[in-house]
Structure 1
Amino acid sequence: MKPLVRTAALSGYVELCRSLGIDPQALLKSVGLDTAALVVQDRWISGAAVVQVLELSAAASGHEDFGVLQAEFRRFSNLGPISLVVREEPDVRSALELLIRHQHMFNEVLHARLQEGDGLATLKVDLLLGEAMQTRQATELAVTAFHRILRAFLHPGWHPLSVWFTHPAPADASTHRRVFDSAVEFDQKFNGIVFYARDLDAPNAMADPLLHEYARQYMKPITTSQDTTAADRVRELIEVLLPSGRCSIEQVARSLGVDRRTVHRHLAASGETFSSLLNATRMHLAEQFVANPRRSLTEISDLLGFSSLSAFSRWFREQFGCSPRAWRTGASRQRTDRD
């Protein structure tokens, strides 16, 4: 399976596109994504699709600095649950090392590593996609995001010794100079940030010493293995794609960067099929949605990817043995009895 990234990687993407006069929905659709998929930042989507849409957006807007501009919309919380732990590490070194060690929790494409020598620290950033494609914008987004994280750990006025990119300089580097000051250089040996190693020993400006132990305790249950199963990935994508009305195995395969046979093969290895996962996901979501009286049944039908309310009602009766309206009435009575 191809690597995935959390939808938080595109945080602020819609707003940036609109500010630059381009259509985010059309661009996302061209790579198999949808604006609906970006609403919840903990969903997983194709890393290759994210890389591609950033390149397309830069071309459509005429902004070679699109990735840098995108990074300015990012917040520390976009890292997900791991951000709650990293921010309470006592010094920059432990915070950065923890973030790098668990980078798979928020981005399977990202490969960052920290090196030290001769009084210098070098944070190198690569993107591992498993296929050849242009990655200029995604690389600049990742490096700029790390630059912002280091400033948060240290102080807003902090500057590295240099910020390097392997690709050529843009025609207009004013945004890069504004963000990185005079430290930015192009056509270099690697993508990353070079700074004094002593900065790693500085106290983490975001940390509250009294919360460190609590954060470490919180870390244990949220830490995930890098060995995410194929079924987990497909389940996540089904939940993202259902509201778009385009939830098919072909679309899931495209999002994962493989063909449908590969998806079938991986699911079969874990005793699952696409149909079983689709149905199980719909059942799980239907229980939550139908019990909520603020959602209309028509809205729920759309959210679960049905072509009509009648199709949804028939499916619901087959799965739960009653109509969605009857289920909702029963759930309401249970809440009243508990109260």
Structure 2
Amino acid sequence: MPSADATLSVTSAALLLHAAAQRGADAAALSQAAGLDASQLHNPDGRLPIATMQRLWPLAAAATADPYLDLHLAEHANPAQFGLLAYVLMHSPTLGAAVQQLCRYQDIACNGTRTSLRRLGASIELVVELTSPAIVHPHFVLNSELLVYLQMLRMLSGQPLAPEAVRLAYPAPADAREHRRVFAPAPVQFGTPDSALRLPAAVLELPVLNADPHLLALMEPRAAALLARLQQPTAALPDRVRHEIVRLLKGAAPTLAAVADALCLGSRTLQLHLRQAGHTYQQLLDEVRRELAEQHLHDQHHSTTDIAFLLGFAEPSVFVRSFKRWTGQTPGAFRRAAVAA
């Protein structure tokens, strides 16, 4: 996916809203102000445009009167909150294996950043790079990701891991005392070429508490499949939408939200991309239904009622009206003409 179209898991927004609510903010009002459909938060595999999360961050910081909300987000984080990717990490045998999985499946959490592991003799660094131009508030992203990673490693291992150093690729704030407190005892550098969390290399050998290899064997193929879907090109998005409509068209017309979920996109992102390609979702749904209807009408074994059901119409009469709007003919007239031909 091009970086301008990058998305992240709705679990990130859910965590931020939870943290804001714990500090007295109105989560529903924040969602509405950021243009976030609250119903999306209930889908663990749902995606949001990064631009939506970038709108949410400053709104949440203002609503909580906490200018360091990004530095405090990890206090509310639990690995299980991050869905499929979290379960892959929780059942990896060691922290080293978990970090490798994090780097491999990073796009499931957010494909607008890149996480990598750098080895430096007796130390290692978790490096976070920003790859999406939609990230206009880099400090929110870099602070929260590095601290969530540190919290995750501590919870997976059950050890109070202490970072050796922290680099942050944005200018130093006027007051960095809170940065130094949350990353203690590590020294914190600002304005560096990259952002990284340095730890002793020995942490990679620590076992993950309660890791279950059988659950890992179940979860990892699902993560690989989800990653493959996320990395599909968007050049033929209308064709991918048509494909998902056909796949989901089983007794009821698939909604825009259902197709967006299947494509790992937010509903609004899907609408925007379709509009840029000169399409609407309703137009594509009608095209698919019309094409399938004509195929079924050439087959004498399907009645009009059967076809209406197959195409997801609640009543045959609605199908008849729709087909006449599409073709200028009733289904019966179309079938008779097809037989005569």
Q: What's the TM-score bracket when you normalise by the shorter of the two chains?
A: 0.5 to 0.7
Q: Note the alpha carbon deviations across 1:110-159, whole angstroms, 9 max, x for none.
A: 21111112222111112322246122222211111111122133333111
Match of 2:177 among 168, 173, 177: 173
Match of 1:319 among 313, 318, 325: 313
Q: Name the Cα RMSD after superposition.
A: 3.8
Letter in 2 for 1:275: Q
Check the 8 A contact 1:120/1:197 in 2, yes or no.
yes
* 1:201 lines up with 2:205 in the alignment: yes
Task: Give me the whole-angstrom Cα distance separating, in 2, the residues matched to 1:73 and 1:23.
Answer: 17
Task: Give me the whole-angstrom Cα distance separating, in 2, the residues matched to 1:48 and 1:102.
Answer: 21
Matched with 1:23 is 26
- Structure 2: tracts of 5 or more residues without a match: 245-253, 261-265, 288-310, 318-341
Match of 2:39 among 30, 36, 54: 36
Matched with 2:275 is 264
Check the 8 A contact 1:122/1:193 in 2, yes or no.
yes
Deviation at 1:182, TM superposition (A): 2.4
Matched with 1:149 is 152
Match of 1:55 among 54, 58, 69: 58
Check the 8 A contact 1:58/1:137 in 2, yes or no.
no
Task: Give me the whole-angstrom Cα distance separating, in 1, the residues matched to 2:217 and 2:45.
Answer: 25
Task: Give me the whole-angstrom Cα distance separating, in 1, the residues matched to 2:165 and 2:223.
Answer: 33
Q: Give SS of 2:76's match.
A: coil
Between Structure 1 and Structure 2, how many residues are aligned? 272
* 1:3 lines up with 2:6 in the alignment: yes
- Structure 1: tracts of 5 or more residues without a match: 243-250, 281-316, 324-339
Deviation at 1:21, TM superposition (A): 3.7
TM-score by length of structure 2 reads: 0.66
Using the aligned pairs only, state the percent identity.
19
Q: Note the alpha carbon deviations across 1:289-338, whole angstroms, 9 max, x for none.
A: xxxxxxxxxxxxxxxxxxxxxxxxxxxx9922179xxxxxxxxxxxxxxx
Deviation at 1:4, TM superposition (A): 0.9
Check the 8 A contact 1:37/1:241 in 2, yes or no.
no
Task: Give me the whole-angstrom Cα distance separating, in 1, the residues matched to 2:27 and 2:285.
Answer: 27
Structure possessing the higher radius of gyration over alpha carbons: 2
Task: Give me the whole-angstrom Cα distance separating, in 1, the residues matched to 2:70 and 2:255.
Answer: 25
Deviates more, 1:141-150 or 1:67-76: 67-76
Cα distance change on mapping 1:207 and 1:59 into 2, 3 Å: same
* 1:227 lines up with 2:245 in the alignment: no
Check the 8 A contact 1:92/1:201 in 2, yes or no.
yes
Q: Give SS of 1:182's match.
A: coil
Task: Give me the whole-angstrom Cα distance separating, in 2, the residues matched to 1:36 and 1:67.
Answer: 24
Cα distance change on mapping 1:170 and 1:24 into 2, 3 Å: farther
Check the 8 A contact 1:169/1:186 in 2, yes or no.
no
Match of 2:80 among 77, 81, 99: 77
Task: Give me the whole-angstrom Cα distance separating, in 2, the residues matched to 1:163 and 1:111.
Answer: 17
